[in-house]
Structure 1
Amino acid sequence: MPHSTPEGTTRRHDVVVIGGGAAGIAVTASLLKRRADLDIAIVDPAEQHSYQPGWTLVGGGVFSADITRRPMRDVMPDKATWYASLAETIDPERATVSLADGSCLGYQRLVVAPGLVLDWGAIDGLEATLGENGVTSNYRVDLAPYTWELVQSLKQGKALFTQPPMPIKCAGAPQKAMYLSCDHWRRQGRLDHIDVSFCNAGQVLFGVADYVPALERYIERYGIEKAFGERLVSVHGPSRTARFAVNDEQGEREVERAFDMLHVVPPQKAPAFLAESGLGNEAGWLDLDAETLQHARHPAIFGLGDASGTSNAKTAAAVRKQAPVVAENLLASLKDQPLKAAYLGYGSCPLTVEKGRIVLAEFGYGGVLQPTFPSWINDGTQPTRRAWWLKAKQLPWLYWNGMLKGREWLAAPARRDGA
């Protein structure tokens, strides 16, 4: 059960973890696997914990939404103290965290893993029409089933899929929704009657060039229009029109597109309290050493997950590799020992290009490929059924029963140079 502290008092813990998502639970479990006597507190107001990578498959009719969520109390490590409140401010000089309920927590070490903020309000008119008028998003668990309803019901017309400026969590998710939709329409014989456009604020299909050829083949197969440099700025649900800011060789302007189905990925930003607490970089993201995941200016603070300012892909797979690094380095810092564990930027993006096949993109800092398996087992640059089996059958089980339990299969930290 959640713990409460009388307002105005300070309760102290060895480690305070902000965030009860994938990052917060995984790193707490990893710490307790290494030192069961640690006094760890987790701060998060959510009553439900979500397996967010599953929402794409909910939107594609593969999963039901309910199997992607569990009560927070069921995933909370038994030895951790849970504060069901929001963290409002961090005082790194006093080593305290102030909570929304008025209480205050002191720490020896702090782990910051609050996730990022989906900025739905940044797109004019969007919030008023989400879940109706053909407007949906797999980035909300309550909307992902509506995505599948729209896909099943659309017989002809225009389907728009948007991608905002980076960074976003799971950079492949905007395309995954599109490919799964197109594959269903193809199988139903409807695709020739549906105009599909990928309205991407960026200028490339995917940020790591090795995976682009396979994706381009599916773009061609499904007849998708690539509308690069188009950023969604407003939606009018009743008229089913969307406006985009366009920046191309013709200059800056706005264009209007009609739609029968609009899948929106909202702009995303760091939680404001990070910058307000002096922990953010210039863009507001948590300012971390890219290898050790220790804060750049406050050595008692570590971080991981989507709020981090490191340049890796923001995915659950990144967290799986980050959690052991933070756990090992945090414990070393408590003993005033050198930080020897290194995170090399690993992220994985299973690009669901059709029902039954996935391009399993695995890469680290600088786009360097970091495949888990040799190519004779799975060639990550090509769509394979084996990668689909991994995504749809194995990864959810590994998430609930491995990663959130501190089991670090295939996730041993790299070693820092000279360590």
Structure 2
Amino acid sequence: MALARACCTHRSALSAAHAVRRLSVSAKLGKEHFKLLIIGGGTAGAATSNKFGPYLGAAKVAVIEPNEMHYYQAGWTMVGGGMYNFEVTQRPEASVLNNKCIWIKDKVGQFSPEKNTVITESGREIEYDFLVIAAGLQLRYDMIKGLPEAFETPGVCSNYHRDYVKKTFPALKRISEGNAIFTFPNTPIKCAGAPQKICYLSDAYLRKTGKRDKVTVVYNTSLPAIFGIKKYADALMEVVERRNIVLNTRHNLVEVKPDSREAVFDVLDEKGQAVRQAVWKYEMLHVGAPCSPIEPLRKCAALTDDKGWVDVHPETLQHKRFPNVFGVGDCANTPNAKTAAAISSQMETLRKNLKLAMKGKTPTAKYDGYASCPLVTDYNKCILAEFTPNGPLETFPFNQAKERFSTFFMKKTFMPFLYWNFLVKGTWEGPKYIRKALHLGMSK
């Protein structure tokens, strides 16, 4: 039995190694023209590769992705809170891309949609019949003066970055008095709940370790409210008030002074304009990363709106100007929250509409704007926010705005399994049919 397991493991390892080798070598051979080119190998890009690699056949699909590792970034809240080891949130990129696809280990340098080409940073020109832009977004810590230097000092951390998330729990263990400040930026951001999740976990940890009385927990957000959907905002405000967390709205972090351990915030008016500044001393500072589209998109006005996001029809995900281009995930200008759950629901729309476009037909499937944010509020509680831009759209037939252990268990244990085995594999397209069944067909 042990020998059989060993042989099986050996065959799997050889198969994986062969896949990586084939992908790497194939990307360097022959004319670089593909039926489908995917920009990005993150959640959306990997799922797209697994949907269309088998559909179009070997070597018809290519994925441009420079990173060797793929990260389950939704798990970094748990890493920062001391519940996961960082290593469980990463796997080799080759393990999540479909093995019928060509993996081009490079970065996109320039888009030329009029010519149906993309040029990589290394200068390779790649032609396509259809293009799916799943480029995610770019963390812009450079937008905050002094922050890159501050990350080299104790106590400054961010769950949004694979290096800086490793500083969060050590900073939490280290602090014994003073201010623990958590920030939300004045830009679009992926997983908008992440800055307050770690705020709540930090408060819970400080209480558990008997340090909370000497530490002031502060949540400074650039937004006018703690959350964009009123039902969940009301529930979260109850958490904030019960836990004595200092909440400052319309506060945008603009500078960090590591020598004096000060964080400088612009205080914004109702139009988002700075009217004055507020300076806070910190012992711990968790920074919600400002985000933007990647630079090549910001430089390609033909593909983007005036803010640099891929300009798609929000329901069909097809580009408004180029019908052979689709945008999916965080890089698109759809009005939903930028979460992995949103990508799962977008996958059904992309699967149907891209296949229709490939047959010369008009896309008809419609994305409803669904997104979800499991708002961890303690080491055993979670508020499972599910919504569209129009309001809550909940899967379960109970009030999901209430803190529950069951939804915490889903976040900690079930959702990583769902991510690795179904979402990035292209087989999970959101909870729509489960929701309909649980609501006896009376839900959208």
Category of TM-score, reference length = shorter chain: over 0.9
Query: Partners of 1:244 and 1:369 in 2: how far apart?
Result: 32
Counterpart for residue 164 of structure 1: 185
Say which of 361, 364, 369 aligns to 1:337.
361
| TM-score of the two chains, using structure 1 as the length reference | 0.93
Say which of 85, 107, 112 aligns to 1:64.
85
Structure 2 counterpart of 1:299, which letter? P
Say which of 268, 289, 298 aligns to 2:291.
268
Query: Partners of 2:321 and 2:181 in 1: how far apart?
Result: 43
Structure 1 counterpart of 2:263, which letter? A
What is the alpha-carbon root mean square deviation over aligned residues?
2.0
Counterpart for residue 146 of structure 2: 125
Counterpart for residue 359 of structure 1: 383
Q: Is the 8 A contact 1:270 1:285 kept in 2?
A: yes
Structure 2 counterpart of 1:133, which letter? P
Counterpart for residue 20 of structure 1: 41
Query: Partners of 2:195 and 2:304 in 1: how far apart?
Result: 27
More displaced stretch, 107-116 vs 322-331: 322-331
Say which of 77, 92, 101 aligns to 1:80.
101
Counterpart for residue 328 of structure 2: 304
Q: 1:188 to 1:275 in 2, by over 3 A?
A: closer
- Unaligned runs of 5+ residues in structure 2 are 1-19, 436-444
Shift of 1:407: 1.3
2:323 is the alignment partner of 1:289: no
Counterpart for residue 228 of structure 1: 249
2:127 is the alignment partner of 1:106: yes
2:416 is the alignment partner of 1:392: no
Q: Is the 8 A contact 1:27 1:324 kept in 2?
A: no
Query: Partners of 1:254 and 1:183 in 2: how far apart?
Result: 30
List per-residue Cα deviations over 1:157-184 (Å, max 9, x = no partner): 1111110014100010010010000011
1:187-266 alignment to 2 at 5 Å?
Answer: 187-248=208-269, 252-266=275-289
Q: How many residues align?
A: 409
Aligned residue for 1:90, secondary structure, equals strand
More displaced stretch, 348-357 vs 236-245: 236-245
Counterpart for residue 382 of structure 1: 402
Q: 1:315 to 1:50 in 2, by over 3 A?
A: same
Shift of 1:220: 1.1
Query: Partners of 2:238 and 2:204 in 1: how far apart?
Result: 13
Structure 1 counterpart of 2:321, which letter? R
- Which one scores higher on RCO, CA 8 angstroms, separation ≥ 6? 1
List per-residue Cα deviations over 1:122-144 (Å, max 9, x = no partner): 11110012152311111112222
Q: 1:68 to 1:6 in 2, by over 3 A?
A: closer
List per-residue Cα deviations over 1:257-313 (Å, max 9, x = no partner): 101100011211111212422211011111010010001111000011111111100
Counterpart for residue 165 of structure 2: 144
Query: Partners of 1:248 and 1:114 in 2: how far apart?
Result: 33
- Unaligned runs of 5+ residues in structure 1 are 415-419
Structure 2 counterpart of 1:260, which letter? E
Q: Is the 8 A contact 1:198 1:226 kept in 2?
A: yes
Counterpart for residue 341 of structure 2: 317
Aligned residue for 2:342, secondary structure, equals helix
Say which of 23, 48, 55 aligns to 2:76.
55
More displaced stretch, 159-168 vs 141-150: 141-150
Counterpart for residue 417 of structure 1: none
Structure 2 counterpart of 1:390, which letter? M
List per-residue Cα deviations over 1:220-247 (Å, max 9, x = no partner): 1221111111111111112211111112
Structure 2 counterpart of 1:405, which letter? K
Counterpart for residue 304 of structure 2: 280
Question: Among the aligned pairs, what percent are the same residue?
Answer: 36
Counterpart for residue 394 of structure 2: 371
| TM-score of the two chains, using structure 2 as the length reference | 0.88
Aligned residue for 2:424, secondary structure, equals helix
Q: 1:106 to 1:257 in 2, by over 3 A?
A: same
